[in-house]
Each structure stands twice: as C-alpha cells, then as structure tokens.
Chains A and B, each alone.
Chain A
Amino acid sequence: MVPVEHLHLKHVLQTVCVLESVILRSFGPDGGQVLFIRDTGQAMLSRSGARILTALRLEHPIARMVVECVLKHSIITGDGSKTFILLLASLLRMIHATACKESNVSQTYNSRDAAEAATARRLADELLQSAAVLALAAQADMCIVECVSEDELSLFAQLSGARPVSDCSMIEPDQIATLTFCRPILLGAHRYVHVAFHDSEERVMVAPCSLVICGPGEGPTDQYVCAFQDAIRMLLSTWEPMSMTAVAASKRTLHLLAKALLSVPRQIYFHSPRSFLQTQTRLLSFIENHSHPLCLIHKQEHSTVLVQGQDESVCPLEEGKQSIHCCREDDVSSKIFILDLGLESVSCKYQLLLAVLQCVSSLLRMDTMLCTHSALHTQSRRLANISWEGTEDEAEE
C-alpha cells in the first residue's frame, strides 16, 4: 500500500515560506548576501536568487517544483527570481488567510527562447593530431583549430552560411566559409582563435561579438558571467510585445492580488515605512489624475507596476484584469516617480506575474502526495523516500 499524504494549503504555505525566508534577506537594493558552505569546506557568497535556489539541496517535492518554476522563469527573463518567491509566498498567505480557493485564471503565456550573441570559432575538419597534417597545413599556409565542440561548430555553420564537411575526400563550394581575419588570442590560460565573418547577402544580418569577462577567481567570474547573461536576457525580453487579455474576475480576487503585490515594495521599504506610504500615496494620486485611455510608457517607478486597488477604495477603472501602464503625456509629473534607485523591465514584470499566478494555481490544484520507493542507486545522493519531516528540518535556527 503506497503511503498517501493529503496536502493542505498550510503545508504548501509552510514550504514556500521556508524558501521565502532564505531569499528574503538578499532581496532589494539593501539586500545582503547568502553564504553557502559545502561539506568540502568550499564557500560561496551570492545574492542572485537563481543561484541561491539552485544551490539549495531540497528534499520536499513541492519545494523542488516551485524552484523549477522559478528557474524556468529566470531562464527566459533573466530576472525576478526572488520577487517570484516573495509574490508567491504573499499570495498564498492572502489566500490562506481569506480561506477561499482561487478561481481558475487562465492566461496566455508567452515564452520564447532568447537568442544570444556568442563567439564564433574557426571551423576545421576534425583531424587527428598528426604531425604530418600540421606540417602540410603549415606549408599550405593554413591554420588548424582542433577539438571544436558541437555547439560551436553548429554556431559557426549558422553564422557563416557554410555546411560542415563530413566526407574528407570531397569538399564542395558551399562548404567553404569566408572570413575577413583570423588570429590567435591568449586569454588567461586558454588559447582562442579570433575570427570575423565576411558579410554576405544570403546570411542573416547579425553581427556577432564576443565578450571577455575577467574575475579574481573561478566562483566570482562564474557569477559575473551569469549576471551578464541574465541582464542580456532581460533586455531582450523587454523588447517583446505583450499581449493583453481581459478576463472577468471578482473584486475580491483582485483585492487579494493587490494586497499580495504590495508586499514586494513593503519589503524593500522595510526599514522606513514612512517612505513607503509617501511613495504609495504619490503613485495613487498620479493614477487618479491621469484617467483612461492609457498608453504604454517605458519608464516606471521601481518595482510597482501593477497597482489596482487599495484596501478600501478600488480604483474606478475596470473590473476586468487588465495590465495598466501609466501614461507619459507630460514629462513633468512622471518625473516625480523616477527615483534614482533603478529601472526594471515592464515585460519582465508582466511575465513574472503571469508565472506566479500559474504556479499558485498549479500548487493549489494538488491535493495528494504519493510516496514511492525505488531501488537505491549508488550514484544518486538523494533518496527516493520523501517524507514530511523534510520540511521542518530544512530550516533550523
């Protein structure tokens, strides 16, 4: 008989709150770092949400599911993993507090792979390291680059428009790429080849460029690279058009959502509640003064994008769930919102909210957990035996 556990909302909430407590201290411009110590003694410091969540060794399946959602979102937008967890936790708390189930909210979800600009390497045939071949090549004034990985090979083929050679005896004209220059370059302890592609009409007009990031050690450099990649992903997703959907939802639901959303700026202004109230009042007066129709702007106050209602007065706009973007008809009034603390991408925020809502809905649709036993493999370090005790043990003070 397979052991069955019935899931209640409070268990889900408990798990998510544990995750929230881990990333809470690193959230926002005033956030600190999380120190990880492995059993090998290796230490890692980070404040990146994705990195912290990946480094956690989670046993509970709900926690693992939530972290997977976060990471999927982060891969697309490159940002917002901590905000995700915070919103998730506060939303679940609201729901739990009102003790009602959230209705099905279906959203369309845009997901697209981000295209990255990457380095290109000179492609050569995969020859063995025979001295004769190298000597021949040197005679013929050719450079050979060996041991090029599959991804780089395909990238090179895509960028240059040439097909890779499979049969060494016959080389066809369309298997030859043209480069403007090619020279060796030494970066740290690795040798690379620097090439530039010749512009041609058939190929798609993209100018590849390479970025060299230096750092003091392997850990920090890795974090810099990830931060960079996240930033680029975020910028790319900013330019995506957003689709708007209008769905009927009850006032109470919107109310709940609004309160949950306010938890994010509350956390940022944790140390000075007065500035939080000041900013909130200003934003609300701004919204009330500028009535519909509203159009898109690119600049927003940091972190509050969607504010639909307050505790007592609901904004006299519409009942449907619709994304609001404040308009910028006169620059003067909008300048009062542009604080010096930084900007965030609207599209990322939109996707974040969608992802959070989807995650909440799937979490709340679960009602039972089945524990299955499987044979113990020597390679896997996680045992298949999952139990409730894992949740309480995860965080010890």
Chain B
Amino acid sequence: MSRLVKKAPSLCTDLPLDNTDICNKLLLLWQLLRSCFGSTGRLKQVHNNIGGHVVTTSTSSVLLPAITSSQPFINLIKTSILNHVSRFSDCGLFAAILCLSLIEQAKQSGLRGNVTIGVNKHLLGLCTSYLQQEDCGCKVKLDFCSSHNLIRLAHSIVSSKPACVLTEPEALHISRLAVQAFLLTLPCNSPGTVKLGNIVTVCVEGHSVLNSAVFPGLLVDTPDIFCLNKIENLHSNPLRTVLFSASLAGDLPELGDGIIEVHPGVDTDSQILDQLLELGKQVVKDEVKLFVCQKVIHPVLQQYLRTHGIIVIERLGITLMEPLTQLTGAQPVATLQSTIPAKAYGKVMDVSIRQFGSKTMLHLHPPGESAICTMILCHRNETMLSELKVVCQKIEHVLRLTLREPAALLGGGCTETHLAAYIRHKSVNEVTQTAQTLRCSQTEYLLAVEGFCRSLESVATALEHDGGNSLIDLTHAHHWTRPADVMEEHTEESLGLCGCGLVQGSPDKKWTYLNTKYPQFSPAPLTRDTTVEPSVLDSFTAKVNGLQVAVETANLALDVRYVIQDMN
C-alpha cells in the first residue's frame, strides 16, 4: 500500500528571470555549452556518481540529455533545444547558445518582455526571409553533380567534433567515406517510389582510422569457421537465401502460448527436433545455399545443414533483419510449423570473407543494385570510436536533409556576423513604421534590435576558445579570429582567411572588433569567383530551424512570468 503523505505546498516563483538561482543556472548552462562549441571546443566528461558509463563528448545530442536541473524553467529550455536536435541532429549547440544569449541580452536591456518578444519575432521573420532569398550572401548552392561540396559539408561536421581526435588526412578520409556511403543509399534505377536505403555501421576498435571502409551490401558477424572452406566451392550465382525470424532452438515455450497436452511416454524434445529436421530437409530440397536465423538454431539442425553444403548464420539480431530483408528480397519466415512458401526465398549474389583485425565477417553481396551498405569504422579506442559513430550518423542525417533543400550556409561564424550586419542595416531604414506596428517607441525598437544582433555575434565569438579576438570586416561582414598574442601593427598580415574560407584578408579592407559599435552598412555580396570555395559549411535546414527554435524558445522563456511547481 502506498504511503499517504500530506500534499506539500507548491513552490511558486514570481518572475523567474529575476530569480538569482535561475539566473545563475542559466549562466552556468551558457558557459558550459559555449565552451563546447566549434572545432577548438573543449570536451566534457559525463559520468554518474554511483558509477556506470563514462562519456567524453562535446556533442549536444549526448550532452543535453545528461543534464537535468532542479529548476523546471531550465528544463523547459533544454527540452526545446533537444527537440530540435532529435529532428535535425545538427546545430544544437548553435541554437542553445543563441537562445541563452537572447535571454541574457533581453534582461540586460531592461526592456519590457513584450517589446522584446515582438521585436524578436519580427527580426526572425526578416532573417528567414533573407535566408530563403535566391541572392542571399551567405547561402551556397549544393550541386549534386560534383561531390566536392558534399564532402566539404561532411568535413565541416567531422572537424567540429574534437572528441573524435582525428588528424587532417583521417578527417578527410572519414568525410569521403561518409559521402560515399550516403550516395550508395540513394537508389538510382529502381522504378516507382524511391525508398532510401540504410547504412549499417560496424565498429572495430584498436585500428587506425584510415582502415575504415564502406562496402555495398551487408557485413555479417560470423564465428563460424567451418563454412570458410565451403565459400570457395560455391560457384553458382546467385545463392538462394532463406530468413527465419522465429527461434529454431527447439525449446518448448517458443512453440506458442497456452497449454500443451502431452501424451505419457512422449519425448517432446525429439519430436521438436524431428520437426526441425523436416524443415532442414525441405530447405535442402529447395537448393537453398544461405540459411539465416534471427535467433538461435539447434546444433543438430546446424550440423545437418552444413553437411549439405549450406552456409548457416545464426543470431543475426533484430537490427540487421530489416536491411537483410531489403537486400535479399527474402520474406522472414515466422513459423516453423508450415512449409516454407516459394516466395519467402530471396537471393544473394555472392558471399565473401573479410577480416578486420580479430573480427571475421561474411560479406553478402546484393543481387543487382541495392541501397544497403555497410560502413566499417575503426579507431584507436572506444571513447573516440563512439563519438565517431555519432558523428557519422549526424552526417548521414544532414546529407539526407540536403536532398530536400540543396543549399548550405557559410560556417565559421560568417553567417552569424553577416546576418547581424544585415539586420542592423535593414532595421535602421525601417524604424518608424516597424516601431508603430509593434507598438513600441523607436528607442525601444532600436535597443531590442541591438540586443538581437549582439546575441548573433556572441555565437560567432563563441567559436574562439583560446583567448583570441573576433573581428568583422566592414565590406562583406565575415568573421575573422586573431590570436591574442599578435601585435596590433601586423593586423593585415596575420589575418588570413575568414571563418568560412571565402574571403582573403587584405590591407585595403577595414576591420573592427566584434563587440564594438560599428557604423551600419549593407553587407556587399561577394563576387562569385568559382575557383574559391568555402571550406566550412553548415547544413541549411538545420541552421535555419535552429535559428527559429532559438528565438521561439527565448520568447517563451521571456513570456513566463510565474512558475508553480508541485513538490510531491
């Protein structure tokens, strides 16, 4: 019986943003996430007090679920960002840092919550409409005829996660592999509705990253060394395959639910075994060459099948069932009571053996073109390998998003500074009518715009972790970083390329530090020199959605004026 406890009174918080506890926690969260941002970001180690799995990461998809706060207000913000990450899997840290900066700027400006919310909404509309325009200065069109941009996008994502600890050639190798795997999942010639395939990832620890590879088809773990000889003897292509999802271990409970009546003197085990062997006989008669089961196969049946020259794979696991079904075209057989129908058979073009360190794997080649491929990821230790796996899944998701929207945004903080300059310029021109529409004074409007732009710029400055300075150029509004120990006079020589790699620093351009006031200007579009390509790209869909989520979450946080929390 549950204990009856008197209901404790609820905890009420008036104006949560004025509460010191909540403010401190927001600041802490901001510092935490800010320090993980970018390719020079610092790693965080997450572990439980009482022991358990230890994770070293800087990815928001791993970090945010591990953080919980006793303040539900903070959890509200965190859940909103996590929602974005689960849908788009990129730009989570960007959204979180922008959201928290917006809240901080709104508090510092001292404006009424409603004014800030209205102006934020208006400016968000401006940003999204600018980014959707054809001639947007920070948008790069992705051309699917060439793989360069795709590889560069993948490379930006790989290099933004320092927990993988990859050297430059290793990072390039992984990006190429990821793009290759993605392209293999796009079926080219299949008629009807296009169904994207799957990338199955296999992790191998202890080897160099450069040993990672991508194979079309499926790689299946097999401890079976007996069939190694048989493989070479197989000449007939294609090989007929049968796939079982039911257990063939011969245990009584697996036959079904309910009461089983047994006659006295009957040996149930041998009866079941007889039934299994019947199945085996049918399989041999139908000239099946590859016998796969999701669960365990009875050893007698295994031996029987092997003596007849059939390759047996057991304990496939549920994760590989769907890709194997897609690859072979076999329908998984769920019952062993009835005979196997002819249309349950599939086929595999070829079977070969691959060795990865101590792992022996069976490579199943697809008959014809298939959208299933396997990526083998190797790394020196488990921590880096798990981060690498997360990164590769991220890349796959981002590349899929580009199918819908073939564009990318300039990375390295250049999009943020460009947008900030654009907003400043546009809002100065439209002050009077916008202030009237939003029902605030012109001063209030300009203050709120300033807060918004400063938040965007603070995201760009968050990329710098080694004490350097952030600068913006006053022609194209791109982002530059300068190490702290460089002297003032050598500005022109020390500034190389901008954050995204498009603009070269030259003496005739004007610069200013990012946290100072600069005269507003309209950022000039770059002359599209096709020989110069940006080296750092961000996913367009993920970033635009991240921007929207950040502004909307900040607005929500500014709108909450009273919190009532039940204690039990």
Contacts and interface: CB of A to CB of B under 8 A. Distances in A.
Chain A CB count within 10 A is highest, among B4, B113, B114, B564, for B564
Chain B binding surface SS class:
mixed
B566 A32 contact: no
Nearest to A341: B439
Contact of A57 (B4, B7, B559, B563): B7
Contacts of B561: 25-26, 31-34
B54 interface: no
A391 B91 CA distance: 47
A43 B560 contact: no
Interface stretch (A64-72, A151-159, A236-244, A376-384): A376-384
Interface in B66-108: 72-73, 76
Given A35-B72, A35-B73, A382-B7, A22 B562 contact: yes
Nearest to A34: B562
B72 A43 contact: yes
Given A43-B72, A376-B4, A393-B9, A34 B564 contact: yes
A22 B559 CA distance: 15
A344 to B, nearest CB: 18
Contact of A271 (B6, B15, B112, B556): B112
B7 A26 contact: no
A17 B184 CA distance: 67
A30 B562 contact: no
Contact of B13 (A45, A55, A397): A397
Given A22-B12, A397-B13, A39 B567 contact: yes
Interface in B111-125: 112-114
A102 interface: no
Interface in B322-355: none
Chain A CB count within 10 A is highest, among B11, B556, B558, B561, for B561
Interface in A372-397: 376, 378, 381-383, 390, 393-397
Interface string B2-27: 00101101111111100000000000
A119 B138 CA distance: 52
Contacts of B559: 32-33
Nearest to A395: B12
**What interface size band does chain B fall in?**
20 to 34
A397 B9 contact: no
A37 interface: yes
A109 interface: no
Nearest to A397: B14
A21 interface: yes
B565 interface: yes
A395 B199 CA distance: 55
Contacts of A45: 556, 560
A33 B11 CA distance: 16
Nearest to B114: A30
A22 B556 CA distance: 18
B12 A396 contact: yes
A38 B566 contact: yes
A271 B114 CA distance: 11
Given A39-B567, A43-B72, A25 B11 contact: no
Given A22-B12, A25-B14, A43-B72, A35 B7 contact: no
A39 B72 contact: no
A381 B12 contact: no
B568 interface: yes
Contact of B564 (A32, A35, A340, A382): A35
B564 A21 contact: no
A36 B12 CA distance: 9
Nearest to A22: B562
A30 B567 CA distance: 30
Contacts of A376: 4
Given A25-B15, A30-B114, A36 B564 contact: yes
Contacts of A378: 4
Contact of B14 (A21, A33, A55, A271): A21
Interface in B473-524: none
Given A25-B14, A43-B72, A395-B12, A34 B560 contact: yes
A35 B566 contact: no
A29 B9 CA distance: 30
Nearest to A340: B439
A56 interface: yes
A43 B7 contact: no
A252 B14 CA distance: 35
B236 to A, nearest CB: 51
B562 A37 contact: no
B68 to A, nearest CB: 11
Chain B CB count within 10 A is highest, among A31, A43, A271, A383, for A43
Interface in B514-568: 556, 558-568
A182 to B, nearest CB: 36
20 contacts: A25-B14, A25-B15, A25-B561, A25-B562, A32-B561, A32-B562, A34-B560, A34-B561, A35-B76, A35-B560, A35-B563, A39-B568, A45-B556, A45-B560, A57-B7, A57-B10, A271-B112, A340-B439, A376-B4, A390-B9
Interface of A: 21-22, 25-26, 29-39, 43, 45, 55-57, 59, 271, 340, 376, 378, 381-383, 390, 393-397
Given A25-B561, A37-B563, A57-B566, 7 more contacts: A22-B12, A32-B560, A383-B7, A390-B9, A393-B9, A394-B9, A397-B13
